[in-house]
Amino acid sequence: MANWPNIPDDAVHWIRAVFAEANRRTTERLVNVPNIREPSLDDGLIEAITPLAAPRLLPSGTVVELNIHNIGGLRRIGAWETADIAVLVFVYQNGRMISQKIGLLQSKRLYPLNTDVDDDDPLGFAYGLNAFLKREKHSPLKIIRRTFEFNEKCVYGALVAGDGQSDIIRRFNDEFGEAIYYLFYNPSDLPATVHYPVTEFRAVSEPPLGCRVYTAEDVESALRVLDHGKSPSIGQLQSEPVMSNWRLETWVADLLLRCKAGQMIASQKSEELVSRLIERRSGPIGAAIAVSIALAEG
């Protein structure tokens, strides 16, 4: 499995369309629920892909199938996860696997200016659904009336300079090669404002901004200039001289499938590293998407 095979154009176009729909629907979820927690956005991305997962025969004779495993938004309460979503690609020809590779996404959502976001709560996690049963006795109208504004000053609040997570990701990439990337959940475009209570559902068609992927190196460069405990703004990331900032569907279809991103799984060392991440349910991955591509026989 030394060389990456040529993936037919129609397979690349199909996978791009699948992840473009995931981008659209995940962005739509953020736009309509601007204080939604990050794991729910991960879940939304997975849910958008699931209806398109069945084996699909393409004009070239290639068959593409997606297999999805989602733990269901379970975060590593009190610990750092290495990445949230794994995208694996398996290529088959004449009934046997000829190549495989992996790309990993560490997801972060953009916070509104009021930083009002439902984050992971270790105490609430321990008590399960009890919070839903023990409601406030007074009307929640004062809490409901809120305004969420997004602009270039907004930060990725769960991405913090000096918290150690970027060091873990860098060490992994140093050992395995560039495999972990950052996935940023953003509104459809900036500036954007949402008032609670809402009066209508906001449909998103083709988000100009939406879900974006950066290399870990580009993100680490942005964190390096910040004071300890500070988070980078979207304006800062966009103004950095980065080489990345790809749409989600571009990263998957044009980079991962074309072997311009991610890492091939072609050695015992790489297999051991993937095993560490994927094969244990308690491991530091929330979901895995396997893209199986069966090339036309001949």
Task: Tell me which of 183 and 146 has the higher pLDDT.
Answer: 183
48 domain-assigned = yes
Amino acid residing at 47? E
Helix (H, G, I), strand (E, B) or coil at 57: strand
Mean pLDDT of 90-111: 95
What is the arithmetic mean of pLDDT over 278-282?
Answer: 54
**Contact status, residue 65 vs residue 56, Cβ threshold 8 Å:** yes
Assess if residue 36 is contained within a domain. Answer: yes
- CA–CA dist 286, 72 (Å, integer): 7
Mean pLDDT across the stretch 139-156?
86
pLDDT of residue 286: 79
Q: Is the pTM of this model over 0.85?
A: yes
Question: What digits encode the pLDDT tens for the residues 196-220?
Answer: 999 999 999 999 999 999 999 999 9
What pLDDT shows up at residue 267?
76
SS3 of residue 247 by DSSP? strand
Which range among 85-89, 133-137, 231-235 shows the weakest confidence by mean pLDDT?
133-137
The mean pLDDT value for 170-195 works out to: 95
For 101, residues 6+ apart whose C-beta sits below 8 A from its C-beta are: 4, 88, 89, 256, 259, 262, 263, 264, 265
pLDDT score of 298 more than 80: no
Q: Which of 172, 249, 173, 183 shows the shortest CA–CA distance to 213?
A: 183
Are the CB atoms for 111 and 187 separated by under 8 Å? no
- Is the per-residue pLDDT at 127 higher than 90? no
Q: Does position 123 have pLDDT exceeding 60, yes or no?
A: no
Task: State which amino acid sits at residue 34.
Answer: P
Residue 124 lies in a domain: no
In a domain, 134, yes or no: no
Number of domains in the chain: 1
What's the domain range around 164? Answer: 9-116+139-294
If we measure between CA atoms, which residue out of 254, 248, 210 comes closest to residue 105? 248
Task: Give me the helix-helix angle, 216-224 and 165-176, nearest 10°.
Answer: 140
pLDDT at 273 over 90: no
Residue 136 is predicted with a pLDDT of: 64
Residue 6 has pLDDT above 60, yes or no: yes
Please name the amino acid found at residue 109.
Answer: R
233 in a structural domain: yes
Q: Is the peptide bond before 197 cis (omega within 30 degrees of 0)?
A: yes
On whether residue 128 sits in a domain, the answer given is: no
Instruction: Tell me what the pLDDT averaged over the chain comes to.
Output: 88
pLDDT score, position 284? 57
pLDDT at 228 over 60: yes
pLDDT for 78 equals 46
pLDDT tens for residues 40-91? 999 999 999 999 999 999 999 999 999 998 875 444 444 556 789 999 999 9
Query: Would you put residue 217 in left (φ > 0), alpha (ψ -120 to 50) or beta?
Result: alpha
Indicate whether 172 pLDDT > 50: yes
Is there a domain that residue 121 lies in?
no
Residue 3 lies in a domain: no
